[in-house]
């Protein structure tokens, strides 16, 4: 081609230039993967896209294996059996690729709407917790609520009882319990059983009757039963329904009736070998002589009660201890001689006089003996 030629280049020149541009683009966007089939040389593959907006991000080898007998399979597939042995090796390779495609046109950028005050919609909307902490003053003190009469002081049957409810009870206003029962008339029936009391089923209607001064289910049930029915036993006495009613109406109870029918001479128990009767217990209450003091008054002071240090202690001796008279022990000691030997200590005979000397700060026989011994 001449330099001054003004004609267009041939088609072959344009095709070659386009192919070179495609090859350069493919080389830039290509990825290399190798398959290690043996220790000599791995199979190398270059994976490249054919479209300019595609990029091969990565190619990962997943698995490969050698196919045995591929030549036989291929000859059967073609239908032409070849007698020559195929010496080539065939491998089945599995790869995984990550490919990116870029958009042909860039994404549009939309400008946000501007509202009054020059603020966008995102600035006007409340972001909500916890992104709205900027609207809260953390240094501000929380408002303290003063206690009012509506403060809850307790619960009754699942309902909150406030101070105002307690005031209503005093001023004869509707209580929260009855108010709640009245509101449940359309939903719950008065025949609904709430609990059992003394084998009687207590319904919602029974509770309403208690408030409106109607006969309760307990008193109705008692009225239908006989006063002679025995309920339980107390101190070997059978307590009937009539006895319980008498306790309420201030009539004699079964216990006092039973005591009145018994004799004061009946022996109840023994105390210090003395038989204590029902009359004795009554005397204790009415400030009369008890059986113990009566028994002591009928006994003699000469009666021996027990022995102390070989001395017989009588009832009179015990009385003398109280009235500051000589006790039998000191009297016995006074009738004995100080020369009587009591025991031996370190080969020395200790007498009664020696023991008295110890009490009255006189020399004891041991120290005297030691002082008379020559060193």
Domain of 86, in residue numbers:
17-99
Helix 176-183 with 204-211: angle, nearest 10 deg: 140
**Residue 340 resides in a domain:** yes
- Tell me 114's DSSP state: B
Q: Which of helix, strand or coil describes residue 70?
A: helix
Which one of 39, 69, 99 terminates a domain? 99
**Residue 60 resides in a domain:** yes
**Residue 345 resides in a domain:** yes
**Residue 188 resides in a domain:** no
**Residue 37 resides in a domain:** yes
The three-point CA angle 74-76-77 to 5° equals 60
CA distance 201 to 281: 46
- In tens, the pLDDT along 162-188 reads 877 778 777 766 655 565 555 544 567
**Residue 322 resides in a domain:** no
List 32's β-bridge partners, or say none.
46
CA distance 269 to 290: 14
**Residue 367 resides in a domain:** yes
Whether cis (ω within 30° of 0) applies to the bond prior to 316 is no
- In tens, the pLDDT along 288-343 reads 665 566 665 667 888 888 888 788 888 888 888 777 666 556 666 566 788 888 88
User: Across residues 34-58, what is the average pLDDT?
Assistant: 90
Token representation of residue 175: 């209580």
Which one of 65, 99, 133 terminates a domain? 99
Residue 29: other Cβ atoms inside 10 A: 20
Q: What is the largest CA-CA distance in the chain?
A: 175
Which one of 50, 77, 99 terminates a domain? 99
Contacts of 267 (CB under 8 A, 6+ apart): 275, 276, 277
pLDDT at 349: 87
Number of structural domains (the chain) is 2
**Residue 370 resides in a domain:** yes
Token representation of residue 193: 């059983």
């Amino acid at each position: 081609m001449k330099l001054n030629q003004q004609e267009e280049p041939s088609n072959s020149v344009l095709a070659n230039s386009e192919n070179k541009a495609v090859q350069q683009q493919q080389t830039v966007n290509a990825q290399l993967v190798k398959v290690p089939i043996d220790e000599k040389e791995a199979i190398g593959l270059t994976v490249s896209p054919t479209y300019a907006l595609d990029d091969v991000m990565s190619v990962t080898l997943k698995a490969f294996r050698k196919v045995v007998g591929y030549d036989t399979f291929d000859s059967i597939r073609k239908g032409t059996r070849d007698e020559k042995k195929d010496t080539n090796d065939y491998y089945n390779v599995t790869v995984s690729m990550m490919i990116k495609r870029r958009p042909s046109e860039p994404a549009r950028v939309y400008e946000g709407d501007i509202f009054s005050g020059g603020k966008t919609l995102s600035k006007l909307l409340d972001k909500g917790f916890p992104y709205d902490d900027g609207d809260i003053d953390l240094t501000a003190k929380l408002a303290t609520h003063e206690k009012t009469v509506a403060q809850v002081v307790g619960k009754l049957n699942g309902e909150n009882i406030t101070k105002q409810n307690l005031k209503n009870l005093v001023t004869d206003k509707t209580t929260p319990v009855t108010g709640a029962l009245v509101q449940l008339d359309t939903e719950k029936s008065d025949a609904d059983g709430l609990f059992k009391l003394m084998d009687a089923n207590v319904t919602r209607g029974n509770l309403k009757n208690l408030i409106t001064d109607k006969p309760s289910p307990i008193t109705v049930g008692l009225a239908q039963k006989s006063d002679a029915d025995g309920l339980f036993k107390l101190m070997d006495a059978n307590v009937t329904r009539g006895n319980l009613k008498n306790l309420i109406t201030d009539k004699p109870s079964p216990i006092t009736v039973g005591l009145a029918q018994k004799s004061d001479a009946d022996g109840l128990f023994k105390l210090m070998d003395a038989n204590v009767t029902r009359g004795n217990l009554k005397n204790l209450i009415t400030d009369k002589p008890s059986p113990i003091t009566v028994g002591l008054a009928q006994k003699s002071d000469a009666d021996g009660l027990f022995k102390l240090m070989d001395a017989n202690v009588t009832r009179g001796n015990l009385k003398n201890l109280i009235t500051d008279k000589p006790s039998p022990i000191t009297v016995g000691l006074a009738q004995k001689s100080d020369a009587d030997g009591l025991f031996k200590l370190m080969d020395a005979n200790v007498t009664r006089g020696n023991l008295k000397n110890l009490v009255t700060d006189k020399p004891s026989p041991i120290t005297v003996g030691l002082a008379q011994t020559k060193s």
